[in-house]
Amino acid sequence: MKRSPPQRIVITGASSGLGAGLACAYAAPGVMLALIARDIPRLTTVTAECQARGATVTAAGIDVSDAAAMADFLTAFDATGPVDLLIANAGIAHGTDAAGGLETHAQATRQIAVNLLGTINSIAPLLPALRARRDGHIAVVASVAGYRGLPDSPGYCASKAGVRLYGESLRAALGADGVTVSVIVPGFFVSPMSGRFIGGQPMVMPLAATVDRIVAGLARGQGRIVLPRRLGVLLQITDLLPAALGDAVIRRFRFHITGS
């Protein structure tokens, strides 16, 4: 269902890449943005860009894996005026390193803590208020990596499969309550995160086009935004193959992640 332009917007992971791009895209006079990330200097730069576009900005240096801090901030922000769009975007990526070593236990579990639990921490505190108002729009940023496990990023794939299904479940649950939920499922797009992926990036999209497609999809109230759709379909088909055949297909797409 088409939605009116959002006025009070929360974006996690707003200091870089997609989150920063979305913040700038929504920044306009009359818009109140709550931008969350840990890196204060980068968040300050994005804040200034959004203010220059006329938005009012509350910047919060919070780690999304800190459930209590997220709940405190979100409920306080919502109390000053109802949130009408909440984009849970913050994420990290680890995986096979340049020497071929698998991600460590700490890296695998940290991705679950930030990507999956951080998404839940970003949404759950506001669910009672959104349901009571029978209004509002929640968007989660998953990944096509959540359709089929990739050999070089098990923790990331597990976290994004969880994010995708958390969003799909919420959409099914909350539609009847008047709350819109959009599950964003990107393939590769250009950002500091993907700049660390060394290997093929099939169908990689420019950041600006990714932002535009997401903003347009959210304005339509689209329940699922897969971009590019072909890559999502390919990975879903791979997941339907017998395990050994699917593994053989997916092993053609190996990469490593610098800084892992």
Ligand X SMILES: NC(=O)c1ccc[n+]([C@@H]2O[C@H](COP(=O)([O-])OP(=O)(O)OC[C@H]3O[C@@H](n4cnc5c(N)ncnc54)[C@H](OP(=O)(O)O)[C@@H]3O)[C@@H](O)[C@H]2O)c1
Which residue among the candidates 26, 147, 156, 166 is catalytic per the annotation? 156
Q: How far apart are the C-alpha atoms of 24 and 22, rounded to whole Å? A: 5
Tokens 């890559």 belong to residue: 231
Residue 19 makes contact with ligand X by CB under 6 A: yes
Cβ atoms within 10 Å, residue 78: 20
Tokens 């970003």 belong to residue: 122
- The reply to whether 156 belongs to the active site is yes
Residues contacting ligand X: total by CB under 6 A: 32
Q: Which of 10, 90, 181, 235 lies at the binding interface for ligand X (CB under 6 A)?
A: 90
Q: How far apart are the C-alpha atoms of 136 and 158, rounded to whole Å? A: 28
Q: Between the CA of residue 150 and those of 153, 156, 172, what are the distances in Å?
A: 6, 9, 27
Cβ closer to ligand X: 4 or 11? Answer: 11
CB 18 within 8 Å of CB 207: yes
Cβ closer to ligand X: 6 or 17? Answer: 17
Phi, psi of 16 (to 5 degrees): -160, 165
Window 54-73: residues binding ligand X (CB under 6 A): 63-65
Site mask, ligand X, residues 194-233, x = CB under 6 A? x---------------------------------------
Cβ closer to ligand X: 32 or 88? Answer: 88
Residues whose CB falls within 8 Å of the CB of residue 237, separated by 6 or more in sequence, listed in order: none
Minimal distance in Å, beta carbon 93 to ligand X? 6
Q: How far apart are the C-alpha atoms of 10 and 58, rounded to whole Å? A: 9
Q: Which of 8, 9, 16, 86 lies at the binding interface for ligand X (CB under 6 A)?
A: 16
Q: Which of 91, 125, 154, 217 lies at the binding interface for ligand X (CB under 6 A)?
A: 91
Q: Which residues are catalytic?
A: 156
For binding to ligand X (CB under 6 A), which residues are involved?
A: 12-19, 36-39, 42, 63-65, 89-93, 114, 118, 141, 143, 186, 188-189, 191-194
